[in-house]
C-alpha cells in the first residue's frame, strides 16, 4: 500500500510540474490582422490573424520590422471597444482555450 501511495504522490508531483501556461502568465502570441472571408465591422468579434515574427537589431532604440506567416491563420477575440485596422499587429493571450486581445484604438 505504501508503494502505491508513493507512486501516486510521484505522479501528482509530475502533473503539478507540467504547467501549460507561460512561466509568468498566460501564453501569448504576436498576430497581424488579416482577411479570410470578410473583415469584422464591430469590436466584439473574432479576427483572423497571422502569427508574426519580429526582426531587427536587438538594441535600445533599434527599429523592428514584422513578418507575418501568411500560411497560418489564428482566430482571436477582440475584447476591446474599437475595430482594429486591417494589418494591425497585436499580442493575443490564451484565455480559456481561446485567443483574446484588447484593441481600444
Greatest CA separation for the chain: 63
Spatial distance between the Cα atoms of 79 and 100, rounded to a whole number of angstroms: 7
Domain ranges of the chain: 21-101
Q: What is the dihedral of CA 44, 46, 92, 96, to 10 degrees?
A: 90
Over residues 88-104, the mean pLDDT reads 95
Over residues 36-45, the mean pLDDT reads 96
Model pLDDT, residue 68:
97
Closest alpha carbon to 46 in 38, 54, 56:
38
Residue range 44-84, pLDDT digits in tens? 999 999 999 999 988 999 999 999 999 999 999 999 999 99
Model pLDDT, residue 96:
87
Q: Are strands 74-78 and 98-101 parallel, antiparallel or unpaired?
A: parallel
Amino acid at each position: 500500500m505504501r508503494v502505491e501511495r508513493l507512486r501516486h504522490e510521484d505522479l501528482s508531483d509530475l502533473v503539478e510540474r507540467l504547467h501549460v501556461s507561460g512561466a509568468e502568465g498566460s501564453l501569448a502570441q504576436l498576430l497581424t490582422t488579416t482577411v479570410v472571408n470578410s473583415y469584422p465591422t464591430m469590436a466584439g468579434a473574432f479576427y483572423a490573424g497571422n502569427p508574426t515574427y519580429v526582426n531587427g537589431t536587438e538594441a535600445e532604440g533599434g527599429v523592428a520590422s514584422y513578418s507575418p506567416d501568411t500560411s497560418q491563420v489564428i482566430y482571436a477575440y477582440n475584447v476591446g471597444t474599437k475595430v482594429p485596422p486591417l494589418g494591425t499587429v497585436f499580442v493575443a493571450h490564451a484565455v480559456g482555450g481561446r485567443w483574446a486581445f484588447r484593441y481600444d484604438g
